[in-house]
Chains A and B, each alone.
Chain A
Amino acid sequence: MKHFNLMLLTMLLPLCMMGQQRISGKITDSRKRPLQGVNISIKDSYDGATSGADGSYSFTTDAKGTQYITATLLGYASQEQKIFITGPQEINIIMRNNVNDLKVVTISAGSFEASDEGKATVLKPLDIVTTAGANADIVNALKTLPGTQQTNDREGLFVRGGTGYETQTFIDGMMVRNPFFSGLPDQPGRGRFSPFLFKGTTFSSGGYSAQYGQGLSSALILESTDLPQRSSYSLGASVIGVSGGLEELMRDKKGSFGVEADYTHLGPYLGVVKPTYAFSKNPEIIGTSANFRRKTSSTGMIKFYGYYNQTNMGTIRPSLEYPGFEELFELKNKNVYTNLTYKESLGHDWKLNAGFSFSSNADNIYLDTLNKTNPLKGKTQSQLTQTRLVLTKGLGQYSILRLGGEYQYGVEKSNFGGWQANYVDNYTAGFAESDIYVTPRLVARVGGRVEYTSILAKANVAPRASLAYRLTANSQFSLAYGDFYQKPEQQYLRFKNDLGFTKATHYIASYQHVSKNYTLRVEAFYKKYNDLVKTGRDTSTSGTGYAKGIELFWRDRKTIKNTDYWISYSYLDTKRNYLNYPFEVQPDFAAKHTLSIVYKYFIPAIATNLGVTYSFSTGRPYYNPNLPVEKFMSEKTMTYNSVGFSASYLTSIRKAFTIFVLSVSNAPNFKQVYGYRYSTDKLRRQEIVPNMPRFVYLGMFMNFGIDRRQDMINNL
């Protein structure tokens, strides 16, 4: 009988559950504002409702007894509440903002990041290519960001009162010894690497991670692309040359390889547009590169990139020393760069990044005051071999620990007119750093770097620390501090090696507001220089200096339809006593005020992107040897103005994605004077001006997908 009751109960159980109850209530956020669109349900049943505009909901359910009511809404943490249903119920639920990746604070002081997806970034990789006047050169594009100087007569990126040498370039963590093409006097070479090679670019104007060293001022951190989505080949032609490339995605879609070649010759262009100084040899560049990428497992990846390039060029200009004579300067450069990296997850939240890189650079220089002096031949060579290993461990939900080491073997050789000055350096560094999330809103990065270099026979310990605090969903405040050491430039080390490390200490405070369409950044910094190179009777590292300033960045993608613009302003107060300076003065590469406005306008109807970039900076000091010592660097050049223009038309020719680009740098042909050079007898001077003050570039690029299946489908 007992069993019979049980049987009856079992059979009738589903029926017993009939009888409906009404559940209703209101859903609000933590500030009691009603939430619309919340999905409320009785767990494991169909019963539920969606909240209305006033946050209220109501539904009936057959469920009885102990149940769970759930509420979900995008951007909010899902709620689950235990309820006991006996009759009609009113259940009010408060939902809290979800802490997702987008809203977790990240270290931002001093750095600008350009990357594809996910986090709200200040720049996209394409921005680098489409910035007018930058001519698709990463460094030129970065010169529209705050902190950089318009120092276009010297090689490199001049950041916050630092020289070009103080900015170090890294590809996948590894230092690049010669990131720029070798240039002619006063005409620096552009960056060697195409922006299309990289999926992420981080430009740090100070206070950067202990992972990177040997840059007193700045780090340009480039991250190479992963596997392409499909096989393709590309062709390019422009007024200065041609290029072609092939990229093949392997059949299993786990690997790819590619080759590229380009040939540049400025002869035809210079036949039409006359430069300031004639070329004895029109610039000619031959470049090739190869890459290979392979997924070794679901988390592992091996990447190889190799590059060979040679350039050949020369100019003739009126001699400053010998009036009526001409100076010949000819340059041949050969450059090899290779980079091999491997990454893999080791389990237990450990990740490994390993890298090996070899690079070699040779410059052959030929100098001659024609018909006056004997020619001088010079040769400089550098080779850098390096390995790097980084282990990363995830700690908890967000925190990370990084440990790593690197070793570099550098050979520097030079030979001028038979005078040789060579050296070899073994550089070893180790670092440890941790990003500690106290809460998702507050992160501290604490770390340090230890370095030893055999040429100086000295070691250093560089502490680094930064802190970021998220104020609201879109805004955060950050602080950064760090010591940065760098070997003196090769030209001084060649002749004297009992020098020390040069040193800079950074202090940065920054506020930023980043939403999808607007970015505002304000950053203030103070940088103290110690042990800078001093020349004169004896070379030493006893120079000093400082830089301080305020920088603003504003970007708006929304206010004006189809328009995206940004404005950068930098105020820089810097003085230094280095090289042959008699005391601390504003150096000749630094301007007090720098402004850039980048404007991009997209016309969807004709698929054309128009861009204008305006750059301005106040005059830079120059050395006039006719003035007394106390007036050293007291005179300033004219202000710098430049307007770059670009138009790109996107189209397809047959099956090829095609871009036509027209770009004009310094379109109004403003006169630009970077400084003056004086003759030894101080009687004559020459303006330092760009050799091609206005450059017109017209080119087209085609990219063909060679996915056969796609073609077949399209022809069905």
Chain B
Amino acid sequence: MKRILFSICLSIGLVSAAMAQSTQYEGAMTRQVAMLDDSTNFAPDRLLEIANTFERIGAAEKTQWLPFYYASYCYVMSSFMQKDNDKVDDLADKAAVNIEQAEAISPENDEINCIKSLIATARIRVDPMNRGMKYGMESADLLVKANKINQENPRVYMLQGQSLFYTPEQFGGSKTEAKKKFEVAMQKFSSFKPASKIAPHWGEGYTRGLLAQIK
């Protein structure tokens, strides 16, 4: 009897701890992800700070892919904003380490492939002459993979459009083709329901901005 009572009490204790843990996770992630929805946080150093927090959450949780995903997102976005080319590879490396951790937890994930594609794109800038071909292809292939996993993910179309938008016409870029992609992306954004408050949902405003530049 005592044994049963004891085990009940023990399980209540554990459950309450687990619940606390889970609310803590939801709470912390909601706060952090909200920061990424605020454009004032989009400064290279500020993003690294946010990345640090995501890394802490990821390291503590161990089984959640989103903290690593967002840490990687912060690093790669920061690398795009760097003025100094020398820092790009280091940040892309950090982003890659985090996204690999995310992928180990959640393989075959369209959102993760989008970030991997972004990382490849970021690396081109360091040495476009030598890297353009290799990383350009890698980036495109990853988006194809993401699209295969989930054809409704608007970010895939957005990134494909972005690549067409920024690639010079001589290398196969095209503003009109980019526009088509952005329009598909906008359609998909309107019907896209993120799985939760903290699931990836970025990109709609950005797409609208780029679309406005074409019109």
Task: State whether A710 touches B140 (Cβ < 8 A).
Answer: yes
Cβ-closest chain B residue relative to A10: B13
Chain B proximity mask over A687-707: 1 for CB below 8 Å, otherwise 0: 000000000000000000100
Does B212 interact with chain A (Cβ within 8 Å)?
no
Among B1-57, those with CB < 8 Å from A are 2, 5-6, 9-10, 12-13, 16-17, 20, 24, 28, 45, 48-49, 52-53, 55-57
A75 touches B90 (CB 8 A): yes
Please tell me if B134 contacts chain A, counting CB pairs below 8 Å. yes
Interchain CB contact (< 8 A) of B6 among A6, A45, A657: A6
Binds B, one of A264-272, A582-590, A648-656: A648-656
* CB of A50 within 8 Å of the partner chain: yes
Docked pose: A279 CA to B91 CA in angstroms: 58
Assembly CA distance A383 to B17 (angstroms):
78
How many A-B contacts are there with CB distance less than 8 Å? 102
Q: How many residues of A contact B (CB 8 A)?
A: 45
Q: Which residues of B contact A (CB under 8 A)?
A: 2, 5-6, 9-10, 12-13, 16-17, 20, 24, 28, 45, 48-49, 52-53, 55-57, 59-60, 86, 90-91, 93-94, 127, 129-130, 133-134, 137-138, 140-141, 143-144, 147, 160, 168-172, 177, 184
Chain B facing A: main interface SS: helix
Query: Of the candidates B5, B133, B138, B172, which one forms a contact with A7 in the assembled complex, judged by CB atoms under 8 Å apart?
Result: B5
A616 proximal to B (CB < 8 A): no
Residue numbers of A with Cβ under 8 A of B are 3, 6-7, 10-14, 37, 39, 41, 43-50, 72, 74-75, 116, 124-126, 130, 229-230, 516-517, 602, 607, 609, 650-652, 655, 657, 705, 709-710, 713-714, 716
CA distance A12 to B56 in the complex (A): 26
Query: B57 to A657, Cβ gap below 8 A?
Result: no
Contact partners of A657 in chain B: CB under 8 A:
133, 171-172
Q: Which residue of B lies closest to A9 (CB)?
A: B13
| Chain A nearest CB, measured from B147 CB (Å) | 7
Nearest Cβ on chain A to B52's Cβ, whole angstroms: 4
CA distance A39 to B177 in the complex (A): 42
The smallest beta-carbon distance between A353 and chain B, in angstroms, is 25
Contacting pair A652 B52 (CB below 8 A): no
**A3 B130 Cβ-Cβ under 8 A:** no
Closest-by-CB residue of A relative to B48 is A37
22 contacts between A and B (CB under 8 A): A3-B2, A7-B5, A10-B9, A10-B10, A13-B17, A37-B45, A39-B52, A46-B53, A46-B60, A75-B90, A124-B130, A125-B130, A517-B86, A607-B171, A609-B129, A650-B170, A652-B169, A655-B172, A657-B171, A710-B141, A713-B144, A716-B184
- Selected from B49, B59, B169, the residue in CB contact (under 8 A) with A44 is B59
Contact check, B177 vs A74: say whether CB atoms are below 8 A apart: no
Q: Are B48 and A50 in contact (CB under 8 A)?
A: yes
Q: A75 contacts which chain B residues (CB < 8 A)?
A: 90
Min CB distance B17 to A, Å, is 4
Report the Cα distance A700→B175, complex, angstroms: 26
- Structural contact, A48 and B171, CB atoms closer than 8 A: no
Q: How far is the CB of A563 from chain B (nearest CB, A)?
A: 12
Q: A12: which B residues are within 8 A, CB to CB? A: 13
Complex partner residue of A652 from B12, B130, B143, B172, CB under 8 angstroms: B172
Which A residues touch B55, using CB under 8 A? 39, 72
Is the beta-carbon distance between A230 and B137 smaller than 8 angstroms? Answer: yes
Distance A75 CA – B94 CA, assembled complex (angstroms)? 10
Q: In whole Å, how far is A84's beta carbon from the nearest beta carbon of chain B?
A: 20
A48 touches B52 (CB 8 A): yes
Specify which of B134, B137, B177, B184 is in contact with A714 (CB 8 Å cutoff). B177
- Apart from A11-B16, A657-B172, what 11 extra A-B contacts exist at CB < 8 Å? A3-B5, A11-B12, A11-B13, A37-B45, A39-B55, A46-B60, A72-B55, A74-B91, A130-B129, A657-B171, A713-B147
